[in-house]
Amino acid sequence: MRRDAINRPIFIYQLTQLKYTKYFIALVFCVFLYANTSAQLNIAYNKNILTGADNLLANPASLALEGKNIAICANQTSILKNKTHLVDTLLSKKYKIVKIFTPEHGLRGTADAGEKVASAVDKKTGIPIVSLYGNNKKPTADQLKGIDVVIFDLQDVGARFYTYISTLHYVMEACAQNNIPIVVLDRPNPNGFYVDGPVLDTSLRSFVGMHPVPIVHGMTIGEYAFMIKGEKWIKKAETCSLTVVRCESYTHKDFYELPVAPSPNLTSMQAIYYYPTTCLFEGTTLSVGRGTKYPFRNIGMPGFKAGKNYFTPKPTPGAKEPKYNGQKCRGIFITDSMVNAFLKKPAIDTHLLVTMYKNSASQSKFFPEKGSFDILTGDKMFKWSIIATAVSGEDMTYAWQKGLKKFKAIRKKYLLYTDYE
């Protein structure tokens, strides 16, 4: 965490004038130790949680998978507590995996956001890989031919615009239409301890927002699957044969540390916690730090009018053509203190949204005309609320509350674990 309260060069010079050198050395050591240990989150992570994948492997006979042709929807997050990949583990136990479906970012999680992911063959296992991104978001009847069961195991982060739940929608629908059972291996939601944001206006429905849920839905991917089926958001929902293998020792009050990055630009828990807020800047003229060491923590642009944080985006794996490539940007850094404050009172950071708008290089161009901000927020009035709040300081969250109350009543029907309230 960056701490600018102390002007270190002057501070150290003044200390060297003291006669008590041993105290000076001790103090310098303490300052060094503090600077290198202060970048921590005030969280007690629940280390006892077992994912649905771990529970499946503990009792594989419960699903009677022996001898069946299995397709798995998986990526780099589909790992077990012992750090082995689910696909490799099932193969080692002689289960017959005949196809792998992959979401946005691909099987190894290295593709850029929005980058076309080609179908291929997994070099390690020789199993055909079918990409469910780009023009082929939904498995076809031909792609499902000969499949007896589909296993779905992806780590979601709890935001409506994170596309793994959209992939879940299409896989469930394809299975229902082709009379194939689907098994969802549940995983904890790292943002499962709150619900916030406007509920999607369905006229803005897209792959980054398919269902009438708020930006932060507060559900595990297994709970979300039950809601998709129960609310009949897919075709032939009544024929969808859905099984969810639950997590163990998890509640929505728990903090869960992801063992691997869920996508190439969400590389820290700090970024994951603030993602429901910072991802909204993708629909503005701001950079979210893709192509830097701290994506989704560096927020800014050339010509930004405030902030002491500077960064220069450059091509990196997962960000081959970052916004403002090679240009020096000014802005803010999502510090640990900001995240700790959020964890005490979790909510979308509307203050940050307003601050970044007020200090942008050009307020009139802050929201691009193509409407990407509206698509991300799922609400046509959100940007006008930011503008109005910047002028009057009014509470922009008031308009969300009626929709949130209605959604929470729906959500409650599908919860598998003790809620956060």
What 8-state DSSP symbol labels residue 244?
E
The closest alpha carbon to 258, from 272, 276, 245, 247, belongs to: 272
Angle, helices 8-16/21-37, rounded to nearest 10 degrees:
160
| Pair 206, 285: CB distance under 8 Å | no
| Pair 110, 102: CB distance under 8 Å | no
User: From the CB of residue 96, how many other CB atoms can be counted at a distance below 10 Å?
Assistant: 13
**Strand ranges, E, within 302-383:** 309-311, 329-333
Confidence of residue 113 (pLDDT cuts 50, 70, 90): low
Confidence of residue 10 (pLDDT cuts 50, 70, 90): very low
User: From the CB of residue 326, how many other CB atoms can be counted at a distance below 10 Å?
Assistant: 10
Q: Measured between alpha carbons, how far is 394 from 383 in angstroms, rounded to an integer?
A: 13
What local confidence, expressed as pLDDT, does residue 39 receive? Answer: 52
Q: In terms of DSSP H, where are the helices of 93-236?
A: 164-177, 221-230
Is residue 360 classed exposed, middle or buried when 0-12, 13-18 and 19+ CB atoms within 10 A define those classes?
A: buried
Confidence of residue 134 (pLDDT cuts 50, 70, 90): confident
Check pLDDT > 50 for residue 37: no
Proportion of the chain above pLDDT 70, given as a percent: 87
The stretch 44-67 carries a mean pLDDT of 94
| Pair 357, 363: CB distance under 8 Å | yes
Check pLDDT > 70 for residue 14: no
User: Is residue 407 helix, strand or coil?
Assistant: helix
Range of lowest pLDDT (18-32, 195-209, 325-339): 18-32
Tell me the per-residue pLDDT of 292-341, one tens digit each, with 9 for 90 and over. Answer: 999 999 999 999 999 999 999 999 988 999 999 999 999 999 999 999 99
Give phi and psi for 151, each to the nearest 5.
-105, 130
Q: Measured between alpha carbons, how far is 302 from 312 in angstroms, rounded to an integer?
A: 9
The stretch 248-275 carries a mean pLDDT of 97
Q: Measured between alpha carbons, how far is 110 from 114 in angstroms, rounded to an integer?
A: 12
Name, in order, each residue with C-beta under 8 angstroms of 218's C-beta and a sequence gap of 6 or more: 158, 189, 191, 192, 193, 194, 195, 252, 411, 420
Q: Measured between alpha carbons, how far is 309 from 334 in angstroms, rounded to an integer?
A: 10
Most confident listed range (128-142, 206-220, 385-399): 206-220
Q: Measured between alpha carbons, how far is 366 from 302 in angstroms, rounded to an integer?
A: 13
Name, in order, each residue with C-beta under 8 angstroms of 146's C-beta and a sequence gap of 6 or more: 69, 98
Proportion of the chain above pLDDT 90, given as a percent: 81
Q: For the chain, percent helix, then strand, then coil, each to nearest 5?
A: 35, 15, 55
Q: Measured between alpha carbons, how far is 287 from 21 in angstroms, rounded to an integer?
A: 46
Q: Measured between alpha carbons, how far is 241 from 182 in angstroms, rounded to an integer?
A: 6
